[in-house]
Structure 1
Amino acid sequence: MAEHDRSDEVQRLLDDLCVNLGFCLPREEQRRLRVSPPPDAESFTVAVFEAEGLDPRQDKRLYRDVRDTIDQHMRRWPETNAN
């Protein structure tokens, strides 16, 4: 069930990025991120930019806005480690 929960959390994050920042990823890219989300905000941000076909280094302010949104979502995600 944790995998499904994370998939739902990732989808809420992607929906937020679409509505608030205009990063509306193609369905296949959304699916890829839901199935295997990057482990931290930085790598997730780069993955989102690459999925949009953008260079993450081109617009520092936009990068920061996307990263901050991702970071806010990821901080609310429960840990899934079963150690």
Structure 2
Amino acid sequence: MFFDDKGTVDKTNFVVRVKSMNNGGLVQTRQLMHTINVPSRITNPNCDNSWYRVISRKDLDKFKNEIGFEHPKKKNLLNKIIKIQ
């Protein structure tokens, strides 16, 4: 549900990302994702002091299978960009 609420599917860069002001929370989600073998990274701070959790193009299948989306539009967009790869 976290990704359904906060996540976006970037159809230009073929990644899933979450923007947050809470870097500590993003670190915790990275640790949880690591336990289910879904790699991700945290960007450097943006100009507004926000951070991004990014799941790269090569790991989208793992994200879909282990976490995925329930939100219909995000789910469809994720499926489309996985097929394009």
Q: Same fold by TM (over 0.5)?
A: no
Structure (1 or 2) with the greater strand fraction: 2
Structure (1 or 2) with the greater helix fraction: 1
TM-score normalised over the length of structure 1: 0.37
TM-score normalised over the length of structure 2: 0.36
